[in-house]
A and B are shown apart, each in its own frame.
Chain A
């Protein structure tokens, strides 16, 4: 497996300029997506995970705008010759280059497949349109055959007739399969999946997750899987970033995240979820105090400090933590782990 970064995001900021104030939805985010690797993005509502995905796709609309940062994407990877770097963040959102990449090299699937499909066109029309948009040297018949094949691959029964059906006549699970088919028709380098199974029932969710894992291995694409469900990341991802209020609080491989979470938010989140057990009665759940703050009134210093059981007064509410490396492929944004923090705490004690 290749491990060169396919996408390198640095200091990305996407803010929404509203009458009520500025919402810093993505506020200085840096991470890599390696070729062929599944990266999970975990966080609660309002943490900026969906806006992050939309920023990479360059589909954030006003009043939202990406104001800073780089999104370096290696276009050469597609032709087997790595090293043709472009900065997606610099591209105009309706420019020809980003339109060439979007929907072809980088594709996306959304949470609610009913809203993502046009209700007045058949499934087939929409998949074929996507293929023809990006490949000019292909006939309509060839595109249709390709669409039938990809629908068959994602487990749609009788794809030859289903291709002419409208989205409303399909079940939620079938629509999500069609969505996946549309996203894979162009053999993308990166698939961004935003809560792809959240609207589905648990048995359908299991079917769709299995299908996605299988296709990811088969197509060898990288995947950015956005979810609030820690079970889904545990089963699907190799690496994870945890987000809170527009910032990455922790980034590491999946085993380390569950075995040895460093950020208090990650640790508390893992303790707060009920898990299926074989043995005895459950211990009482450890709830995280308070709730995610309103985006207009961000706490000063570390955004998690009002809810953090380990917050140090006079430090965490003042200083904004930076990402610190705490292990091989393990970074965390918490003052408990930065040298400045221990110094700061020591100063506090001596005072």
Chain B
């Protein structure tokens, strides 16, 4: 397991917002906003893996996309530090700067069946980013593709074949090769192992760790699976209805959570051990609607520790202990057990 690098920040996200308008009627009048990402702030250190975890609809994918402006943010700032230490404000950058930026920030997608064009050979898929950016051609291009395929554990002999000839795990390797061919520094991995079989997940997770060590990559690892996130991340951010509710070093977050939602997530994971009874303490109710969130703390209708203040005042995102942030009025007072023993 790699240790957290003490690098400088490669990415700084400040109060990022991505709202989607809800329209109605003949004139498509805007009648409301879905607050998919609602004031998200975090830093990414060079060489680390930050896990971004939450349930469906919490805004974790939109956060990843808003960073490279695949979804246009409606507010906030994203700063990216280039190799020469200059700071670029991605949220205000022009088209050419964004093009450079998108070479250095790459995405790995969830579904290896949908994210590879079935009409392109493996060679064309992996070579495409280099061609589009006119960075290589001819023999050089072929060498580079074959090098990438070897790096992700695929035989270059297969490069003239089409995606249908490969299993889910192999396709995900191809997707990773495509992301890394541009020699990026930051990789946004959006549920990269969720569509894979259990026995293949471990291969891809191990591969991602090896590549991080060899290439010094920084990962934003988006997932709904807490055990996977705990395994791969140095720090973890938990999202709920568009906001980060807790952010801490991995071990801290899993053993001393400070937000009741984090605790609820940890208690909900069915333990793969018949002697540990992990059911019987599930949360009440359902996730709040991001188009119509409750007043005060968004989590208050489901929170077992709710007080009057939670119904009225929205809690601040505060540093409760060194490097441990939480968005809860009572973070200091709650004594939450973390992962069940």
Interface residues on B, range: 35 or more
- Given A201-B55, A213-B279, A235-B277: A291 touches B197 (CB 8 Å cut-off): yes
Q: Are B1 and A282 in contact (CB under 8 A)?
A: yes
Q: Are A278 and B254 in contact (CB under 8 A)?
A: yes
Q: Are A209 and B270 in contact (CB under 8 A)?
A: yes
- Tell me the nearest residue of chain A to B271, going by C-beta: A231
User: Does A2 sit within 8 A of B, measured CB to CB?
Assistant: no
Contacts of A232 in B (CB 8 A): 270
User: Does B174 sit within 8 A of A, measured CB to CB?
Assistant: no
Q: Are B273 and A210 in contact (CB under 8 A)?
A: no
Interface residues on A, range: 35 or more
User: Does B167 sit within 8 A of A, measured CB to CB?
Assistant: yes
1/0 contact trace for A218-249 toward B, CB 8 Å?
00000000001111101110000000000000
Among B1, B255, B269, chain A packs the most CB atoms within 10 A around the CB of B269
Q: A313–B195 Cα gap in the complex (Å)? A: 33
The listed residue (B201, B224, B255) touching A278 by CB distance below 8 A is: B255
Q: Are A206 and B282 in contact (CB under 8 A)?
A: yes
1/0 contact trace for B278-304 toward A, CB 8 Å?
111111001100000000000000000
Q: A278–B269 Cα gap in the complex (Å)? A: 14
Q: Are B202 and A272 in contact (CB under 8 A)?
A: yes
B150, chain A: closest CB distance, angstroms:
17
Contacts of B55 in A (CB 8 A): 201-204
- Given A229-B270, A231-B272, A254-B274: A276 touches B197 (CB 8 Å cut-off): no
Contacts of A287 in B (CB 8 A): 199-200, 202-203, 206
Q: A248–B251 Cα gap in the complex (Å)? A: 38
Q: Are B286 and A274 in contact (CB under 8 A)?
A: no
Contacts of B258 in A (CB 8 A): none
Q: Are A202 and B338 in contact (CB under 8 A)?
A: no
- Given A44-B197, A284-B206: A278 touches B338 (CB 8 Å cut-off): yes
Contacts of A45 in B (CB 8 A): 197
The listed residue (A203, A213, A307) touching B264 by CB distance below 8 A is: A203
Which residues 234-280 in A have Cβ within 8 Å of B in the complex? 234-236, 254-255, 257-258, 268-270, 272-278, 280
- Tell me the nearest residue of chain B to A204, going by C-beta: B286
- Tell me the nearest residue of chain B to A47, going by C-beta: B197
- Given A270-B272, A274-B205, A276-B230: A210 touches B280 (CB 8 Å cut-off): yes
Among B199, B251, B266, B269, chain A packs the most CB atoms within 10 A around the CB of B199
Among B167, B206, B209, B274, chain A packs the most CB atoms within 10 A around the CB of B274
Among A203, A207, A236, chain B packs the most CB atoms within 10 A around the CB of A203
Q: Are A275 and B280 in contact (CB under 8 A)?
A: no
Q: Are A269 and B230 in contact (CB under 8 A)?
A: no
Total A-B contacts with CB atoms under 8 angstroms apart? 152
User: Does B175 sit within 8 A of A, measured CB to CB?
Assistant: no
User: Does A111 sit within 8 A of B, measured CB to CB?
Assistant: no
Contacts of B283 in A (CB 8 A): 203, 206-207
- Tell me the nearest residue of chain B to A240, going by C-beta: B274
User: Does A285 sit within 8 A of B, measured CB to CB?
Assistant: yes
Q: Are B198 and A272 in contact (CB under 8 A)?
A: yes
User: Does B275 sit within 8 A of A, measured CB to CB?
Assistant: yes
Q: Are B282 and A291 in contact (CB under 8 A)?
A: no
B335, chain A: closest CB distance, angstroms:
15
User: Does A171 sit within 8 A of B, measured CB to CB?
Assistant: yes
Contacts of A234 in B (CB 8 A): 270-274, 276
Q: A307–B202 Cα gap in the complex (Å)? A: 14
1/0 contact trace for B151-172 toward A, CB 8 Å?
0000000000000000111100
User: Does A292 sit within 8 A of B, measured CB to CB?
Assistant: yes
User: Does B106 sit within 8 A of A, measured CB to CB?
Assistant: no
1/0 contact trace for B236-270 toward A, CB 8 Å?
00000000000000010011000000001111111
Identify the 10 closest CB pairs spanning chains A and B, nearest first: A231-B270, A287-B202, A206-B282, A206-B268, A285-B202, A201-B55, A288-B199, A287-B203, A274-B231, A44-B197
- 4 extra interchain contacts, Cβ-Cβ under 8 A, other than A273-B227, A282-B230, A285-B205? A258-B274, A276-B230, A276-B339, A288-B200
Chain B residues packing against A (C-beta within 8 Å) = 1, 55-56, 167-170, 197-203, 205-206, 209, 224-228, 230-231, 251, 254-255, 264-283, 286-287, 338-341
User: Can you list 23 residue pairs at the A/B interface with Cβ under 8 Å?
Assistant: A44-B199, A171-B286, A204-B55, A206-B268, A206-B281, A230-B198, A230-B272, A234-B272, A234-B274, A236-B270, A255-B275, A258-B275, A272-B198, A273-B227, A275-B227, A275-B272, A276-B340, A284-B209, A285-B205, A285-B231, A288-B200, A292-B199, A294-B167
Chain A residues packing against B (C-beta within 8 Å) = 44-45, 171, 173-174, 201-207, 209-210, 213, 228-232, 234-236, 254-255, 257-258, 268-270, 272-278, 280-282, 284-289, 291-292, 294, 307
